[in-house]
A and B are shown apart, each in its own frame.
Chain A
Amino acid sequence: MSGAATGETAGVEWRLAAPLGITYLAFFAAPLLILLVMSFSVDDNLGGFSLAAWAKFWGDPFYRGVVWDTLRLGLVTVAMTSLFAYPIALLFIASGPGLQRLLLFIVLLPLLTSVVIRTFAWIAILSREGVLNQALLALGLTSAPLNLLQTELGLVIALMQIEMPLMLLPLITVMRQIDPSLSDASRALGGSKWRTFRKVILPLSLPGWIAGATLVFASATTAFISQTVIGGARLVYLPTLIWQQAMVVYNWPFAAVASVSLLVAVLAGVSLFAMLGRFARTTA
């Protein structure tokens, strides 16, 4: 706008971005638009206009419950991953290069295995006759096997392992950039380790946490395979509901409403984290 040079630069950038941009328009934005139109349609031919699907979805406490369960699953997974990620990240930045490589490998391991295999492995671990229950029984920590499969706790445990890299990688990246002498300064000024973490490390690592929390939340709320395989028929989340409505019941407008609701719910969650981050940074 201000000069020829700016226009020139913008032109080059646009041409470079064109292949991806056109792909997005054709295969992402357009289908999304169709989905939105579909949710207001009478049938799967995009015919007519009706609020019936929306009224049915949001009028029924069961479906509202599914939305809430999905959001809660995301939030709990984010909370649990954060709780475990911070100690690992602190250990990572405090360790030498050799241990760092090992830790990074362990952290990345879940990404190197197929989702289906990981999920079935968790069944072997979490089931009533599984490794975890046998260990707990052998140690005498429980008298009867715990019911972990088809519970939110079991699902969160499995999701935590799968989503951990998504939280840890951004967190570690940001925490490595924090000048180590800031912790030293805090300690020398009389700050305890906990105070140093709370007042210095935590606020400065927030950008990494927000990125991680966003990824984990979006990924946990839409983790169709984990949700269906570990959650089973007892736990219903939005992705499962969408699949059932679209592929089993064949009610496409209703599936579209659920899809748009999931999209909005995830976006709401993501913006919540961004807002939390901004709030924390201004008040810390």
Chain B
Amino acid sequence: MPSPDLVTASEIQSQPLTLDAISHSYGESLAVDQVTLEVKAGELIALLGPSGCGKSTLLRIVAGFINQTSGRVVIADRIVDSLPPNRREVGIVFQSYALFPHMTVAENIAYGLEARGESKATCRERVSEMLATVRMEGFADRKPRQLSGGQQQRVALARALAVRPRILLLDEPFAALDKNLRLDMQIEIKRLQRQFGLTAILVTHDQDEAMSIADRIAVMSKGRIEQLGSPVDIYDRPETLFVNDFIGSSNRFSGVVEGVEAGVYAVRLASGALWRIASGKPFAPGDRVVATIRPEQMALTDGATPESIPVTLKLSLPIGGELIHDVETSAGEAFKVAASRRPGEPASPMAATHCALAPHARPVLFPQPAA
């Protein structure tokens, strides 16, 4: 018998997925607003956003559980809008895993194969192949309630992949797992997605999850995609204040543009500091702006420079390998500074009077939002 990896690798043909101007409204409220997204064959895209941003609705539209108000879903150059969920060949892993509680692990995995009218022999063979793929051999006759959360998820994955779906949809698949197990499962899902060459969409509200396994992230808010890009892009070059605030933590400083020179703006902060910030966005001198900076791109010093902000250090928290300093300006603005902690370094507050940009800091400029 050939090894499962070889069999699956040769059978699978990755398929691209296109969402073309999809809108959906529940009655009066618009849940998804003109979303266009091209997922390349074999790519894993995360739809990341707070609850109610439309990401789950979008997932259910792709699966065929909801018929969108307008727009098209195209899987491998074929418009699938008129197909019911059972004919879309889309695999889904649910947050609750949704294993059939009255069936054994093997029966769960065989469910989709039987629905497709596969022979008993094929089902048996595929079930043992899938059990091996998710490393759950020996659990075939267990009932789902006899399995741990991580094991249930492996079975849910095996069940979804057994029918060789064209697209894999992951609906908050790690939300119910405890923290230590989460990373293991993220690696596992990424491994299987690569091995099966699956085009996949991950819906999540957890940025770490999206950052760790997605090839690209679509940050969603109010039914729209705010920004689409690689995890690094999204983190380093947020295009909107929403993305900036939603991904990672960041400090905000309001200021006024004083001048511009070759795409680098001189921004006078409220504290009096002058920052030089490169930005592709058009600003004019006198514009009120918001400069954001990640905590790890700031540093505490005890000497004043033109770009430093006078602060008092309130609190220092050792969080693993990091020290998070909670500082406050004389105007009462609080913000955070993160620094890697040297082993053995105590967490007690150090003498610091100023806060400056770290050497490679890249603050980002946004127009001041309307109050």
Interface segment, A71-79, A111-119, A148-156, A181-189?
A: A181-189
CB neighbors of B among A166-213 (8 A): 179, 181-182, 184-192, 195, 199-200, 203-204
Chain B CB within 10 Å — which of A181, A187, A189, A281 has the most? A189
A284 to B103, CA, bound (A): 8
Chain B CB within 10 Å — which of A181, A281, A284 has the most? A181
Q: Is the CB of B94 within 8 A of A186?
A: no
A189: chain B residues at CB < 8 Å are 86, 91, 111-112, 115, 159-160, 163
Who on chain A is nearest to B171 by CB? Answer: A181
B96 within 8 A of A: yes
Task: Return the contact of A187 from the options B65, B89, B95, B163 (Cβ within 8 A).
Answer: B65
Who on chain A is nearest to B159 by CB? Answer: A189
Who on chain A is nearest to B117 by CB? Answer: A190
Q: Is the CB of B96 within 8 A of A188?
A: no
Q: Is the CB of B98 within 8 A of A190?
A: no
**Closest beta carbon of chain B to A181's beta carbon, Å:** 4
Chain A 240-271 against B: per-residue CB contact (8 Å), 1 yes, 0 no? Answer: 00000000000000000000000000000000
Q: Is the CB of B102 within 8 A of A188?
A: no
A181 to B173, CA, bound (A): 13
Who on chain B is nearest to A180 by CB? Answer: B98
Task: Return the contact of B111 from the options A181, A184, A191, A284 (Cβ within 8 A).
Answer: A191
A200 to B86, CA, bound (A): 15
A181: chain B residues at CB < 8 Å are 94-96, 98
Task: Return the contact of A192 from the options B91, B111, B112, B115 (Cβ within 8 A).
Answer: B115
Q: Is the CB of B85 within 8 A of A188?
A: yes
Known: A184-B63, A188-B63. A179 touches B98 (CB 8 A): yes
A200 to B90, CA, bound (A): 19
Q: Is the CB of B63 within 8 A of A190?
A: no
A192: chain B residues at CB < 8 Å are 86, 115
A203 to B64, CA, bound (A): 25
B160: chain A residues at CB < 8 Å are 188-189
**Closest beta carbon of chain A to B73's beta carbon, Å:** 14
Who on chain A is nearest to B63 by CB? Answer: A188
B65: chain A residues at CB < 8 Å are 184, 187
Q: Is the CB of B94 within 8 A of A191?
A: no
Q: Is the CB of A191 within 8 A of B63?
A: no
Who on chain B is nearest to A190 by CB? Answer: B115
Q: Is the CB of B92 within 8 A of A195?
A: no
B303: chain A residues at CB < 8 Å are none
Task: Return the contact of B98 from the options A182, A191, A199, A284 (Cβ within 8 A).
Answer: A182
CB neighbors of B among A190-240 (8 A): 190-192, 195, 199-200, 203-204
Chain B 89-130 against A: per-residue CB contact (8 Å), 1 yes, 0 no? Answer: 111101110111111000000011001100000000000000
A182 to B95, CA, bound (A): 11
**Closest beta carbon of chain A to B196's beta carbon, Å:** 16
B52 within 8 A of A: no
Known: A189-B115, A192-B115, A199-B111. A184 touches B86 (CB 8 A): no
**Closest beta carbon of chain B to A251's beta carbon, Å:** 51
B116: chain A residues at CB < 8 Å are 190
A200 to B89, CA, bound (A): 19
Known: A195-B115, A199-B111. A188 touches B100 (CB 8 A): no
Q: Is the CB of A184 within 8 A of B92?
A: yes
Q: Is the CB of B102 within 8 A of A284?
A: yes
Task: Return the contact of B85 from the options A184, A204, A284 (Cβ within 8 A).
Answer: A184
A189 to B96, CA, bound (A): 16
Task: Return the contact of B86 from the options A182, A191, A204, A281 (Cβ within 8 A).
Answer: A191
Binding site for A on B (CB under 8 A): 63-65, 84-92, 94-96, 98-103, 111-112, 115-116, 159-160, 163
30 pairs across A/B with beta carbons < 8 Å?
A181-B94, A181-B95, A182-B98, A184-B63, A184-B65, A184-B94, A185-B92, A185-B94, A185-B98, A185-B100, A186-B115, A187-B85, A188-B63, A188-B90, A188-B160, A189-B86, A189-B91, A189-B111, A190-B116, A191-B111, A191-B112, A192-B86, A192-B115, A195-B115, A199-B100, A200-B100, A204-B101, A281-B102, A284-B102, A284-B103
